[in-house]
Chain A
Amino acid sequence: MDRRISTFELVTVSVETYAKIWLKGNLVYHTQQAARQKMEMALAEIDRNIVIMDVSQLLFIDSTGLALLIHFFKKAVCQNKQIALVVSTNKTVERILAIAKFDKLFPIVEREEDLARLLASLTKEIASQEMLLKIWQNHCIQN
């Protein structure tokens, strides 16, 4: 009998300036198939340029999960979308992202409100992932 306990869920919400994808459960080797499918479906439905992936409710992420985030990132960037990650108080996921150097690709944000406020205050459109990352890094330096 299979007693697998790892599950993965995804919820998408759109607000005025961005779309948000909540990743919940385990983004790991044995949930990768379902996760990949759900993430690709979510990306296809999103009509905003900025996508915030909220990873704060992930119970666990492994190297396969990190690779899936990269896969999603590449697909999104090809569609001229920009991605940020929200970690909230999930220190374990935040640490794994930091060890994997994901802060060199994504703004890694503790509070979604901070990013939302920053996006709302911008006068020009964010044209690329590099631009979003740079704006976020400058914001962090100033605050």
Chain B
Amino acid sequence: MYEITMQCKATEEAIDFCDLLAKQIARFFSLHDRDMFVLSVHEAVVNSIKAVKQLGRKIDDGALVVSWRITEEEVTVTVTDEGGGIPIKEIERLGQESLEDVLLAESGRGLLLIKETMDVVSFVPHEGGKCAIVMKMRRGQNGSSDIHF
């Protein structure tokens, strides 16, 4: 088993770095659906960057935390941020909406793409009514996601 925790500033450079890391992890550990794993990690990181930016203050060095846990069966990625993560309202929306519902929308696809492409997506409550996202993809196979609130 491997566990990696990465803590950094919530900047746009961090998005590229996480993309790169996700690609390498997906490749090294033979994730079946590598492209969709990279997309999901990317979307979660972008969500965090947006949340931190919305705070509108100076960005701290450790504002974004991405944890990777790799076992024989699966890879688990947890993304948390100083912005407090994803609002509960957004998570509730996930249970009710599909990508077809937002076909003409110019926002609101990120979490739906994660739900569609990862095997398991769950949310860990934080204070202030926001959540961290935890997502899993099995190694060597792929399936539709189950959401656990």
Query: A interface vs B, CB < 8 Å?
Result: 2-6, 28-30, 60, 62-64, 66-67, 70-71, 74, 92, 95-96, 99-102, 104-105
Are A30 and B106 neighbours in the complex by a CB distance under 8 Å? no
Closest A residue, CB atoms, query B111: A63
Are A67 and B107 neighbours in the complex by a CB distance under 8 Å? yes
Determine chain A's interface SS by DSSP, over half rule.
Answer: helix
Are A70 and B104 neighbours in the complex by a CB distance under 8 Å? yes
Q: Can you list 13 A-B pairs, Cβ within 8 angstroms, ordered by A?
A: A29-B12, A30-B15, A60-B42, A62-B43, A62-B46, A63-B46, A63-B113, A70-B106, A95-B36, A99-B113, A100-B99, A100-B113, A101-B99
Q: With a CB–CB cut-off of 8 A, which chain B residues contact A64?
A: 46
Partner of B100, one of A2, A71, A101: A101
**Size of B's binding interface in residues, CB under 8 A:** 27
Query: Is the CB of B19 closer than 8 A to any CB of chain A?
Result: yes
Determine chain B's interface SS by DSSP, over half rule.
Answer: helix
Are A101 and B16 neighbours in the complex by a CB distance under 8 Å? no
CA distance A39 to B11 in the complex (A): 25
- Complex interface residues of chain B between 27 and 80 (CB less than 8 A to chain A): 35-36, 38-39, 42-43, 46, 49
Are B100 and A62 neighbours in the complex by a CB distance under 8 Å? no
Q: With a CB–CB cut-off of 8 A, which chain B residues contact A92?
A: 35
Query: Is the CB of B4 closer than 8 A to any CB of chain A?
Result: no
Q: With a CB–CB cut-off of 8 A, which chain B residues contact A4?
A: 12-13, 16
CA distance A67 to B109 in the complex (A): 8
Closest B residue, CB atoms, query A67: B106
